[in-house]
Amino acid sequence: MQSDIRSKSVFVGLTFLALAAYPLVAGNFGVDLVTKIMVYAIFALSLELLVGGTGLVCFGHAAFFGIGAYATVLLSPQNDPGSALLLLPAAIVAAGVYALAVGSLSLRTKGVYFIMVTLAFAQMAYYVVHDTPLGGGTDGIYLNFKPVAGPLDLDGPLTLYFFTLAVLVAVFGFLALISRSRFGRALAGIRVNEQRMRATGFATYPYKLAAFTLSGSLAGLAGFLFAVKDGYVNPEMLSWHLSGSVLIMIILGGIGHLRGALIGAFAFALLQEFFKSEAIFGAFAKHWHLGLGLTIIASVALLPRGLVGVPGQLKERLVGRSSRRAETSEAQDDLA
């Protein structure tokens, strides 16, 4: 068990080191792509706190992501760069306030009903942005000047890359600490058996609401980074397609593990890039959904615990085989 935990932290540490070293070997395209994936990873981590940590499946997480992004753009000054030190907290608070409101209502429902109510609230936010002049309508709005964070100008791709990496590491560490805290244990208890948690004297509702708000706020943080990266926001950032994609990421990676969200975000985005690549698939690349879809179906069939479960599955298979071999050799010994 101890060595298991160590190997996990080694894996995560090596991943972050590799990400830190990556710009040394990558071109502009690679840096931009991995920045985007890291933003998705932060977004996926925020959802993992709810789905894996608390057992609440939210199907409207893009709303918080999009609200964070829109808050960033709408609060930026028109003619000069805003301060990330103000805009970042503003994005987090904006998403967090909406999450608090949505959570306080939707947590009255359970299971599939909860999934659908979170979707409903996300669709409301989507239509507000989509149909009113507030958010620039379907065209979206441009961010004229990217914000600066003290001495750091987030307009530079490398600066933004390392800023995003730092945020990713911080969010990962924060969530890892939470899962080991009393609060995190309580959430895990709610996931496993909410009835019993209540019987042991926990008022579960405030815990769930706190997790929901925190998760929404972190999604807003990811939205801030996305808006800064692209310099542009549009209503599709709040659409249920994105809520679905981020859910797919964490399921693909493996629910119940923080590194599952990390792995899932990378796997999902890289699979997309792979199947979109014209160098490999030529003219067929425009039908990239087909390859992605088949891969997802295969992963459900072959990897019931997600990508995180792959080493365990391999180990079981190896152990199973060697123990079977031991049995047969014993049987042969008996014969002899």
Partner 1 sequence: MDLAIFLIQCLNSLQYGLLLFLVASGLTLIFGIMGVINLAHGSFYMIGAYMAYALAPVVGATFGGGFFATLFVGLVLSVVLGYVLEWAFYSYLYEREHLQQVLMTYGLILVFEELRSLTVGDDVHGVKAPEILAGTIALGDTMTYPVYRLFISGVCLLLALGMYIVFTRTRLGMMIRAGSTNREMVQSLGIDIQFLYRVVFAAGVAIAVLAGMVAAPVSSVYPNMGGQVLIICFVVVVIGGIGSIRGALLAALLIGFVDTFGKVLLPQAAGVLVYVLMALILLWKPDGLFKAG
- What residues line the site for partner 1 (CB under 8 A)? 51, 57, 105-106, 108-110, 112-113, 116-117, 119-121, 123-124, 127-128, 130-132, 240-241, 244, 247-248, 251-252, 255, 287, 289-290, 292-297, 299-301, 304
Q: How many CA atoms lie within 13 A of 250 on its CB side?
A: 29
| Least distance from partner 1 to the Cβ atom of residue 57, Å | 7
Token reading at 32: 């931009």
Token reading at 204: 């579960």
Closest CA to 157 of 27, 257, 307: 27
| Least distance from partner 1 to the Cβ atom of residue 247, Å | 7
DSSP type of residue 153: E
Is the Cβ of residue 38 or residue 117 nearer to partner 1 in the bound state? 117
Neighbours of 285 (CB within 10 A): 15
| Least distance from partner 1 to the Cβ atom of residue 129, Å | 11
Closest CA to 215 of 51, 70, 12: 51
As a whole number of angstroms, the distance between CA 109 and CA 180 comes to 27
Is the Cβ of residue 95 or residue 122 nearer to partner 1 in the bound state? 122
Tell me the sheet residues that pair with 142.
Answer: 232
Closest CA to 164 of 44, 272, 34: 34
Is the Cβ of residue 65 or residue 224 nearer to partner 1 in the bound state? 65
Are 261 and 267 within 8 A, CB to CB?
no
Is the Cβ of residue 93 or residue 124 nearer to partner 1 in the bound state? 124
Tell me the sheet residues that pair with 141.
Answer: 233
| Least distance from partner 1 to the Cβ atom of residue 184, Å | 21
| Least distance from partner 1 to the Cβ atom of residue 237, Å | 17
Is the Cβ of residue 112 or residue 314 nearer to partner 1 in the bound state? 112
| Least distance from partner 1 to the Cβ atom of residue 206, Å | 18
Are 249 and 170 within 8 A, CB to CB?
no
| Residue 87: C-alpha distances to residues 40, 80, 84 (Å) | 19, 13, 5
Is the Cβ of residue 9 or residue 109 nearer to partner 1 in the bound state? 109
| Least distance from partner 1 to the Cβ atom of residue 115, Å | 8
| Least distance from partner 1 to the Cβ atom of residue 147, Å | 31
As a whole number of angstroms, the distance between CA 23 and CA 6 comes to 27
Is the Cβ of residue 183 or residue 281 nearer to partner 1 in the bound state? 281
Are 58 and 123 within 8 A, CB to CB?
no
As a whole number of angstroms, the distance between CA 176 and CA 189 comes to 16
Is the Cβ of residue 123 or residue 204 nearer to partner 1 in the bound state? 123
Is the Cβ of residue 127 or residue 142 nearer to partner 1 in the bound state? 127
| Least distance from partner 1 to the Cβ atom of residue 242, Å | 13
Q: How far is CA 72 from the centre of its chain?
A: 20
Place of tokens 């990508």: 307
Q: How far is CA 58 from the centre of its chain?
A: 12
